[in-house]
């Protein structure tokens, strides 16, 4: 009984993965959709960007930055 339930669960998971990947598996240039915030045109129009990109920009060295490590 236990093996039969594992087999049914395995088949259901296999079916779900294959149905989710139909576009990726069977199209010529199939790839996953861009889920990144920076790739969303509507959010770009509103000025909303990726937090990681904004953080990277904020941590860039400033030419007017004062180095306090030598004080």
Question: CB–CB of 32/24 below 8 Å?
Answer: yes
Read off the pLDDT of each residue in 12-26 and give the average, rounded to a whole number.
87
Encode pLDDT of 20-47 as tens digits: 888 777 777 777 777 778 778 888 888 8
Q: What is the C-alpha separation between 1 and 44, in angstroms, rounded? A: 53
Confidence of residue 9 (pLDDT cuts 50, 70, 90): very high
Q: What are the residue ranges spanned by the domains of the chain?
A: 2-58
pLDDT digits (tens, 9 = 90+) for 47-61: 888 888 778 877 787
Element (H, E) at 43: helix 41-45
């Amino acid at each position: 009984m236990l093996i039969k339930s594992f087999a049914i669960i395995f088949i259901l998971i296999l079916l779900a993965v294959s149905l989710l990947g139909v576009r990726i598996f069977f199209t010529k240039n199939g790839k996953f959709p861009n889920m990144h915030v920076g790739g969303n045109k509507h959010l770009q129009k509103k000025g909303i960007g990726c937090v990681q990109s904004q953080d990277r920009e904020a941590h860039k060295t400033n030419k007017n930055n004062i180095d306090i490590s030598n004080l």
